[in-house]
Structure 1
Amino acid sequence: MVNTSDFIKRLEHLLQYYGLSASSFADKINVQRSSISHLLSGRNKPSLDFVLKVVNVFPDVNLYWLLNGKGSFPSDAEKSTTNTVTAPKPKPTPEEPSIKSMPKSKKEIEKIIIFYSDGSFEAYNN
């Protein structure tokens, strides 16, 4: 569960970092200004929709940092991707047939998970 008082501190940090007032922040993420006021006062808890809007509008905001304070803000994802060198994919050896040459089997995909650089993810079940 999200600790609401800690979430409010992180939200205030985010507003200060971007130099936004509560009303301009609400306009930017397309929520009612009163919802920001109610969050900051502790009256309401953040909804999933609210959290996802923040993460989508501000790519530097790490989902895990916003929700539970783990990780960093601003996100180090962009820094780490620019400094890394990707190794070329190895060609399949004769023992490892490529996917194209594999015979069709009765295996079915059970779940696909897509991880995004901002720390969020989507899971799709069959």
Structure 2
Amino acid sequence: MINTEEFVIRLQKVIDHYGESASSFAEKIGVQRSSISHILSGRNKPSLDFVLKVLASFPDVELYWLLNGKGHFPSEEKHPEVATVSKVRTTTENETGAKTAVKTNLGIQDKSIERIVIFYTDGSFKNFEDS
């Protein structure tokens, strides 16, 4: 069971973060303005459908954060791990195969990689250029 008062505070943070008014927020998630007003005033509790519409319209909002305050908002950007790239490079047969595998892991399509730079915590780096 969620704490409605705390949910309202988090919902207001979402609305403020995106610079929306209650009306424009309602329009973006596809609910009536009165639904937002009733939830923000504490008159009504948010329905599952309402929560799902918020999550679908604003991908930076994490479900657990919105419901119970656990997690982050806006959600932290997820970066590919260096270990994943290293693993891809060591499991491929040749340089062309490595580049293809790296592009697939990073979600890059129909573009060629010119250079990959790996930065280490000691301040050094390694540069891989297409030759």
Asked if these proteins are the same fold (TM beyond 0.5), I'd say yes
Structure 1 residue 54: Cα displacement: 0.3
Deviations 1:64-114 (A, max 9, x none): 0000000000001xx22x2424244xx9xxxxxxxxxxxxxxxxxxxxxxx
Q: With structure 1 as the length reference, what TM-score do the two structures score?
A: 0.65
The answer to whether structure 1 residue 40 and structure 2 residue 37 are counterparts is no
After TM superposition, what 4+ stretches of structure 1 lie above 6 angstroms from structure 2?
none
Equivalent residue pairs, number:
87
Residue 60 (structure 1) aligned with residue 60 (structure 2): yes
Larger radius of gyration: 2
Name the aligned partner's letter for residue 12 of structure 1.
Answer: Q
Choose which of 81, 84, 94 in structure 2 pairs with 1:84: 81
Cα distance in 2 between the residues matched to 1:27 and 1:84: 37
Return the structure number with greater relative CO, CA threshold 8 A, min gap 6: 1
Which whole-Å CA distance do the structure 2 matches of 1:12 and 1:69 have between them?
Answer: 13
Instruction: Report the counterpart of residue 22 of structure 2 in structure 1.
Output: 22
Identical aligned pairs, as a percentage? 66
Q: 1:8 corresponds to which letter in structure 2?
A: V
Query: Who is 1:70 aligned against?
Result: 70
Q: CA RMSD in A?
A: 1.6
Task: Provide structure 2 residue ranges, at least 5 long, that are not aligned to the other structure.
Answer: 92-131
Unaligned residue ranges in structure 1 (runs of 5+): 92-126
Task: Return the alpha-carbon distance in structure 1 between the equivalents of residues 68 and 7 of structure 2.
Answer: 7
* TM-score relative to the length of structure 2: 0.63
Alignment partners' CA distance in 1, 2:81 and 2:39? 38
Secondary structure in 1 matching 2:28: helix
- The CA distance in 2 between the partners of 1:10 and 1:83, in whole Å, is 29
Amino acid paired to 2:81: T
